[in-house]
Amino acid sequence: MDMLTSKIFLRKTKRGKVLKVVREHYLRDDLWCGSDLCKKCNQENSEVLDDAPLSSSTLCACPHYVVVDTNVVLHQIDVLESPAWKNVIVLQTVLEETRKRSTNNFKKLKEIMATRKDNFYVFVNEHHKDTYVERNPGESANDRNDRAIRKACSWYQTHLEESQQGRDKKKKIQIILLTQDFKNREQALKEGIPAYKVDEYVKSLKDFPDLQEKLAASHSEDNAENREPLFPEHWAPTRIMTGIKSGKLLQGIFHCSRENFLEGSVSVEGQDKSILLQGHASLNRAVDGDIVAVELLPEDKWTSPSGIVLEDQEDQDPGDQIEKEEALLSNSAKGKDRQPTGKVVGIIRRKWRQYCGILLPSVLAEGTRHLFVPAERKIPKIRIETRQAATLSSQKIIVAIDSWPRTSRYPLGHFVRALGNIGDKDTENEVLLLEHDVPHHSFPETVLACLPSMPWTISQEEVKRREDLRNLDICSVDPPGCTDIDDALHFRELSPNLYEIGVHIADVSHFVRPDTALDKEAANRGTTVYLVDRRIDMVPELLSSNLCSLRPDQERLAFSVIWEVTPNAEIKKTRFTKSVIRSRRAFTYAEAQCSIDDPLQQNELAKSLRGLNKLAKIMKKNRMDKGALQLSSPEIRFEVSTETNDPIDVISKPMLDTNSMVEEFMLLANISVAEHIFKHFPECAVLRRHPVPPESNFEPFLKAGKTQGFTLDVSSNKALAASLDAAVKPDNVYMNTMLRILATRCMMQAVYFSSGTVAPVDFYHYGLAAPIILISHLPFAGLYADLLVHRLLAVAIGADVTYADLLDRKCVQQLCNNLNYRHKMSQYAQRSSVALHTHLFFRHRVQDEDAYVLSVRQNALQVLIPKYGLEGSIYLKEKDEDSKPAFIYNPDVPSQTCGNITIRTFDRIVVQVSLDSKYVQHQKIAVHLVQPQIAGLSVEAIKTVNDSEPIPKKLKAGK
């Protein structure tokens, strides 16, 4: 290190003052070039750049190393993933710029560099004494960086020249700059650096002809400038920043409406009400998730959500024009429901990712421009260019967005890869795992190496370290077919007035040691994901289904929480211990219920279950008295054919006493552990809280209650629970359940957090009415969070030692953020999996079912079919379609009236469910009205169920 320079720059503080920041910047002479042929650098054997590089480029036949500029990384990251790239120099300038401009691409680039570290070399040009360049007065940061990149190129050229004097001129290595920037390329050529456009170079790679498909669409050649713009211009970033500072603009996250693609909202931090956006021009090319800048309209222009259910249904590419949208958005109820309305004036940060979906069949099959329909409804269609449309049209594919110019109706993107045939269950499963970012690759060798070798037995020393509970009559109660038995229970009478109960949890932390490959993998996965027909494990199967499954008659390591309680469920003593247990039996909920109910059964286990059940009921009642909510979401289970693995029947999950019995004890264990850990580690206990929802969340719920004549009180969880209990209608038993379903949707998502980061008053769990709750919920294991809890608890009871990250508040919070994300995604994946199986189920069926109206919209009814836990829309009028009967919409109730029939929220109706096969590729469940009969709208009831598939004899239960 022999030189020093200062970087001086100006930075604005939060308070708006301008600061002069002086940072030291050291320049070094010990940074090497990474080339195998170099005789000057003092580098060890880590040379990445070949002595005699080969390339299949027809554009540049001489041996060369490639330098990519920032724009290539920002816009063509998918191309860089290809094995076609060898001998690539990534400059620090490019890395830094990428990091500043796109977290996603930065992460991807780092992944690419990590997996292909023999082909990508990072040259730290910003700290090299010969390649550092200072920003000239008046020079933009961008121009300075381009200059730094060119400087590094020419340095390499001269640096390598000295080591290859005497080489044949044709064999000398060239440094090639790939850039998308016209000016940079011109300048480079002027300075004698061979420079090419990246697409030109990629197209010239004759060994990788398909690679050009992955090139991001460039619209510049499309002479877009000559066409009429469809959208307003986005403001320049500086203008946006000034606007936000002055309060003229608001910054927030854009959410596209699930029901109406021409509507969306922007949630602004710290504001209760989100801002409504309506119409193409107001949405102005925002894509769901983007961070946008919005300008509020004057208050007299505010409107309310249209209440229209609208899908972008063009089944053909309409070209670059925008349909008339007045009709689609018209008659937004003016008046009291008006809310702040605005328009997007600029995009602060795009949150584009890769999307799964299908190609829309093109009129011109041989054309190269195609429309892609994402699986996620909230994402617009994407225009891509591909010559493989014929093969791709029957497949699910992945596409990335590149840009969305003003002149284009749809964003422009490029094809990334194909997943498999449409309708194929494996493909569809892959789609839903990818869409929800569920890591599901098989466990790598490094992870499997952390597992104990089989056959596995518990060593004598291990038994000595633990409490031996093998003599206790422990049993487990789980859903049928459960192979990962996480928890087990026991009960015994110590004296007539004192019982002992125990919850025993599989001791995963014994097998997953901190900081191992297994631990890191589990931390990243965060949770086990339960899909209808498969389970994506957080830890390898050997653990989840065997060593950490508390199987009957097998000795297992456990973590036990043991209480002494009175017959009134008053807790006298709580203790925690690591233990060895042997479960006597694995009950299903139904089997356990039988044992409890059958007076003939007088064995120990039956007696224990009865004791547990009695205590659980008392405990539950106590909790309810304190205001715990009994919420509802319909849960169903598929019966799956053993032969085809396709669903053949749907059963709603019965709620037995034993279900809530197990829940109650898990909750008790949870609270006890949470209190204990919090006492020992007030700063880094991993907890879960359920924030109190803001009052505005309850609006749709309150409105729905009003239509049925109930005034619901949401002032506290206790009041809510009471008014839910009171809202009963004898003639509509399901109404109460519906109300509970709606209430559930008003709740906030429970979140994991590290206790040091939140004030203790906010620990309260709203839904469960518990003062403090651990991060894990039910089931107790199968979440990485549980592992952390086990470790903390083990330390708290002196059974284990701490390690650094466990006690680092920040580390723990970071982990929690990942867990929150994974947890949310796993729930979405679960829902999608149910939807997928519903599709498969209706592939050969049409059925009439009872349904309830969830909400009444201006042009549709949203209905819930409890039997399938399925929601659908019945369109009352469609655009350009006057054939349907005239409904009169009353937004105040809300209700829809046609003749003498009026439909309101929560009304029971009969619907016909079938699979809409209008679009073979994009199948969806269709719901039609059967009853009440309305001429022109309702369909004929069917007497028989057409079931083209024979029902197989053997049934397998899906979890």
Partner 1 sequence: MSGTELLSDQGLRIDGRKPNELRRIRCSLGIFAQADGSAYLEQGNTKVLAAVYGPHEIRGSKSKALHDKAFVNCQYSTATFSMGERKRRPRGDRKSTEMSTHLEETFAAAIRTELYPRSQIDIFVEVLQADGGNYTTCVNAAMMALVDAGVPLKDTVVSCTASLVKDTPLVDVNHVEQSGGSPELVVSILPHSGEIVYMSLTQRFHIDHLSKVLDTAIKGCKDIGVILKEIMKGHLTKLDTSLQAS
**Which residues form the interface with Zn ion (CB under 5 A)?**
33, 38, 40-41
Find where tokens 């019965």 sit. Answer: 654
Nearer to partner 1 by C-beta: 363 or 804? 804
Shortest separation between residue 519's beta carbon and partner 1, angstroms: 15
Picked from Zn ion, partner 1, none, the partner binding residue 10 (CB below 5 to 8 A depending on kind) is: none
Dist CA 124 CA 116 (whole Å): 18
Nearer to partner 1 by C-beta: 281 or 291? 291
Nearer to partner 1 by C-beta: 28 or 248? 28
Nearer to partner 1 by C-beta: 113 or 870? 113
What value, to the nearest 5°, has the Cα angle with vertex 690 and ends 687 and 695? 155
Nearer to partner 1 by C-beta: 95 or 667? 95
Dist CA 24 CA 8 (whole Å): 9
Shortest separation between residue 160's beta carbon and Zn ion, angstroms: 7
Shortest separation between residue 655's beta carbon and partner 1, angstroms: 46
Picked from partner 1, Zn ion, none, the partner binding residue 807 (CB below 5 to 8 A depending on kind) is: partner 1
Shortest separation between residue 849's beta carbon and partner 1, angstroms: 50
**Cβ contacts of 183-188, under 8 Å, gap ≥ 24:** 183/146, 184/69, 184/146, 184/149, 184/150, 187/146, 187/150, 188/150, 188/153
Q: Taken in order 265, 286, 146, 416, is the CA torsion positive or negative?
A: positive
What value, to the nearest 5°, has the Cα angle with vertex 867 and ends 866 and 868? 90
Shortest separation between residue 452's beta carbon and Zn ion, angstroms: 48
Find where tokens 């090419």 sit. Answer: 196
Shortest separation between residue 105's beta carbon and partner 1, angstroms: 11
Shortest separation between residue 32's beta carbon and Zn ion, angstroms: 6
Residue from 890, 901, 896, 895 nearest 934 by CA: 901
Whether residue 858 contacts residue 842, with contact meaning beta carbons closer than 8 Å, is answered with no
Quote the tokens at residue 188: 């480079």
Shortest separation between residue 120's beta carbon and Zn ion, angstroms: 17
Nearer to partner 1 by C-beta: 3 or 60? 3
Picked from partner 1, Zn ion, none, the partner binding residue 322 (CB below 5 to 8 A depending on kind) is: none
Picked from Zn ion, partner 1, none, the partner binding residue 430 (CB below 5 to 8 A depending on kind) is: none
CA-derived radius of gyration, the chain: 32
Picked from partner 1, Zn ion, none, the partner binding residue 41 (CB below 5 to 8 A depending on kind) is: Zn ion
Nearer to Zn ion by C-beta: 38 or 704? 38
Binding site for partner 1 (CB under 8 A): 1, 4, 6, 11, 13, 17, 19-28, 92, 99-101, 103, 106-107, 110, 122, 124, 126-127, 349, 802-805, 807-808, 810
Nearer to partner 1 by C-beta: 108 or 844? 108
- Reported residue count of the chain is 959
Picked from Zn ion, partner 1, none, the partner binding residue 124 (CB below 5 to 8 A depending on kind) is: partner 1
What value, to the nearest 5°, has the Cα angle with vertex 375 and ends 374 and 377? 85
Kindly provide the residue ranges of all beta strands, DSSP E only, lying in 163-312, ordered along the sequence: 174-179, 195-197, 249-256, 263-268, 275-278, 291-296
Whether residue 538 contacts residue 522, with contact meaning beta carbons closer than 8 Å, is answered with yes
Picked from partner 1, Zn ion, none, the partner binding residue 33 (CB below 5 to 8 A depending on kind) is: Zn ion
Nearer to Zn ion by C-beta: 173 or 262? 173
Shortest separation between residue 922's beta carbon and Zn ion, angstroms: 56
What value, to the nearest 5°, has the Cα angle with vertex 604 and ends 599 and 608? 80
Q: What values do phi and psi take at 480, rounded to 5?
A: -60, 145
Picked from Zn ion, partner 1, none, the partner binding residue 227 (CB below 5 to 8 A depending on kind) is: none
Spell 291-320 as b/e; 16+ CB within 10 A means b.
ebbbbebeeeebbbbbbbbbeeeeeebeeb
Dist CA 201 CA 67 (whole Å): 12
Shortest separation between residue 103's beta carbon and partner 1, angstroms: 5
Shortest separation between residue 70's beta carbon and partner 1, angstroms: 14
Q: What values do phi and psi take at 892, rounded to 5?
A: -75, -30
Picked from Zn ion, partner 1, none, the partner binding residue 652 (CB below 5 to 8 A depending on kind) is: none
Nearer to partner 1 by C-beta: 124 or 458? 124
Beta-bridge mates of residue 417: 398
Picked from partner 1, Zn ion, none, the partner binding residue 589 (CB below 5 to 8 A depending on kind) is: none
Beta-bridge mates of residue 575: 562
Shortest separation between residue 38's beta carbon and partner 1, angstroms: 17
Picked from Zn ion, partner 1, none, the partner binding residue 17 (CB below 5 to 8 A depending on kind) is: partner 1
Nearer to partner 1 by C-beta: 19 or 189? 19
Picked from partner 1, Zn ion, none, the partner binding residue 21 (CB below 5 to 8 A depending on kind) is: partner 1
Nearer to Zn ion by C-beta: 66 or 739? 66
Output the 3-class SS for 387-419: CCHHHHCCEEEEEEEEECCCCCCCCEEEEEEEE
Dist CA 847 CA 594 (whole Å): 33
